[in-house]
Amino acid sequence: MMTEKERAGRAAAHAVEDGMILGLGTGSTVHFTLLELKVRMDQGLRLQGVATSQRTEILARELGIPILPFSAVDRIDLTLDGADEVDPNLNGIKGGGGALLYEKLVAEASDKVIWVVDHQKMVDTLGRFPLPLEVVPFNLEKLWKKLENQGYHPRVRMQAGEPFVTDAGNRILDLHLQAISDPEGLHRELKLMSGVVETGLFLHMAEEVIEGVGDTLRHHFR
C-alpha cells in the first residue's frame, strides 16, 4: 500500500497540464510528485521545471525533467511543494528541509501553488513544528541572543556537527514556539529584524492542499 506522502505526492502530478512551467518543491513528499511527473512525461506530457533546491534539481535531472534557471522565467504556471504544517486557512510552516527561501521566491512567482502533505501535518494552530528562519551567518549569534531574550527559543540547525548551510549560503534558526497565535504579526516582526532573510511562515500562498489520509485523499481549497 502507498504511504500518505506517496499518495498525495503522486496525485499532485495530475494537476499538471501540457507545456506548463512548474515550480518543483523540496522534500520527501514532493519526491513522489517528481516520480509521477516522469511517468506522465513517458506518456507524452511536456513540461519544464524550476527547482527550489539543489537536491530537487539533482533528482529532476536524473529523471530527465528539463530544468530552467529561476532567472530565465517571468512566471511559473504551477508550483507543487510540500509543507511541514498547514492550518485551516491553508497558511503553513515550511523549511523543514532548509529550502524555505527559494521555495518562497518560487511560490511568489507562481500563478498557482499546491502543497502535498500527509494527514499529521494538518493542524488547528501553527507552531508545534519549529519555525525555521533563514539568517545571514554574520549575525547568527546576535540574532540567536535577541530571539532567546524574546522567549522564542531559537536553536541553530545543525548537520553533521556543523551549522546547516542553505543553498544560498545562509544559516537556519528554528524557533520552538509550540503555538503561533498571530502568524502575520510574527512574520512581520521577524522580517523586520536585520539579518533575517526569510521566515518559514507561508501565508496566503497555497490555493490548494492535497492531503493523504490513510488510503484516500482530501483536497482543501482556499
Catalytically annotated residues: 103
Q: Burial, 110: exposed, middle or buried (Cβ in 10 Å; 0-12, 13-18, 19+)?
A: buried
At 198, list the grid cell: 526569510
CB atoms within 10 A of CB 59: 19
Query: Nearer to ligand 5RP by C-beta: 23 or 25?
Result: 25
CB 80 within 8 A of CB 107: no
CA geometry: angle 196, 171, 118, nearest 5 deg = 95
% helix / strand / coil in the chain, to the nearest 5? 30, 30, 40
Pairing mode, strands 20-24 and 171-175: unpaired
Distance in Å, CB of 129 to ligand 5RP, minimum: 9
25 binds ligand 5RP (CB under 6 A): yes
Distance in Å, CB of 117 to ligand 5RP, minimum: 7
Q: Using the rule CB under 6 A, give the single segment among 24-32, 40-48, 71-79, 176-184 that binds ligand 5RP.
A: 24-32
Q: Using the rule CB under 6 A, give the single segment among 22-30, 57-65, 141-149, 154-162 that binds ligand 5RP.
A: 22-30
CB atoms within 10 A of CB 33: 29
10 binds ligand 5RP (CB under 6 A): no
130 binds ligand 5RP (CB under 6 A): no
29 labeled part of a ligand binding site: yes
Q: Using the rule CB under 6 A, give the single segment among 79-87, 143-151, 166-174, 190-198 that binds ligand 5RP.
A: 79-87
167 binds ligand 5RP (CB under 6 A): no
Among 94, 157, 171, 187, binds ligand 5RP (CB under 6 A): 94
87 labeled part of a ligand binding site: no
4 binds ligand 5RP (CB under 6 A): no
Q: Burial, 208: exposed, middle or buried (Cβ in 10 Å; 0-12, 13-18, 19+)?
A: middle
Cα distances from 41 to residues 121, 164, 217, in angstroms, run 29, 34, 23
Would you list which residues are annotated within the binding site for substrate?
26-29, 81-84, 94-97, 121
Residues that bind ligand 5RP (CB under 6 A): 25-29, 81-84, 94-100, 103
Would you list which residues are annotated within the binding site?
26-29, 81-84, 94-97, 121
